[in-house]
Structure 1
Amino acid sequence: MASAPGELLAPTTVTAHGLLLRPLTEADEPEVALAMDDPGVLRWAVGRNVAATPLPLRARTWLAPRLTGWATGTAAFALTDAEDGAFLGYLGLRDVQRIPDQAVAGYWVTPAARGRAVAARALDAAATWAFRRPSEGGLGLHRIVLDHALDNIGSCRAATRAGFAEEGVMRESFLEPDGSRRDSHLHARLATDPSPDLGTW
């Protein structure tokens, strides 16, 4: 049986496409802190409250709710290299089952890991896992959605490459750290969609 809204999720690791997706830990704080100093991560991925937090506290502020996310309906993964364990970014599936059989994906990649299709590979790995039946270790989801500001071309490219089809434009749904609003693309992938061809990296 699929989990109910807000139900505790079993912390899980997923290995695919040269990546290891694992639960975040407190030991990830130094790597998260480096990422939180990147203008792209701050603009697109962390929200106004975290972006406004002083740099020495920013990583801890962002990390704290994700360390407990598995207990509150968010599968919060550190993205790491499957061979050497290098920290490459973050992917979360939040609001699991808030709408039956659905979740919302969010992600970011460290500056050093960009240009290697990390986000697309991670999205496919997480979606493939989440679409599996609970009896097979998955979440039993049918639909995963994500959205990104129209200006965030890299995020759009990663979503499309991972099989998340564009479904429309969400007017003024993205709030910049400076308070300005942007339209967003809505993407979704269904359990019944064909698996994407990620090619090589």
Structure 2
Amino acid sequence: MLIAEQLMLLCIDPQRGDFEVARTHADINSLAAAALILDLAEQHRLRFKNGHIALEASLPTTHPQLVQAAQILSGPANGLPMSAAIELLVTRMHPVARHLLESLFRRDVVHRVRASWWPWSPLHFPLRSLQALNEARAQLHRATDADKASLRGLGLLVLTDFAGQLAASLSGDAHEAAMQKLLHLAKEPIGQDAEHDMLVHLRRCLLG
């Protein structure tokens, strides 16, 4: 499952099937686009250097959202600034969060229902697979406990925190430890390794 798809599961209300983004400055489509960038990096299809991202030589992928994201970001030979890449994905894949939920629906991870019988009423995506949600939450726990968290785990921590949904998946000491890890990340300098630098820069871009 994509990082972006796990983020969607962490940000929807399991019963109602709509997004719960508790912070007014957080846009779910921007967070989804940022997660797709992390997915491309995790699959070694993208490199980060000096605040810019660029696609590496094309590697096969079967996920339609990743294929589309790779095509969109493959234009500039010298790469794109992180903030511009997020904005481009949001614009060209609109609504990217909805597309990710549709993908989860096709794989029986969520249901898809209309708010009313009117054909143009909003769609909602209540949770179907509790196992999938638990695995996403387990990623947050592993990232919190690890001395050196994976790109997936730490990326999910960063993005779920931006959505204001970290407390819904982590409670008590685990939530406090996660917040300390994110606070430490915010203070760390650039120049440690590419994955770390990308997460630090991504967080700064989302802060604006």
Give the TM-score normalised by structure 2. 0.28
Query: Which protein shows a greater Rg?
Result: 2
From the two aligned structures, give the one with the greater strand fraction.
Answer: 1
From the two aligned structures, give the one with the greater helix fraction.
Answer: 2
Q: Which has the higher contact order (CA 8 A, sep 6+)?
A: 2
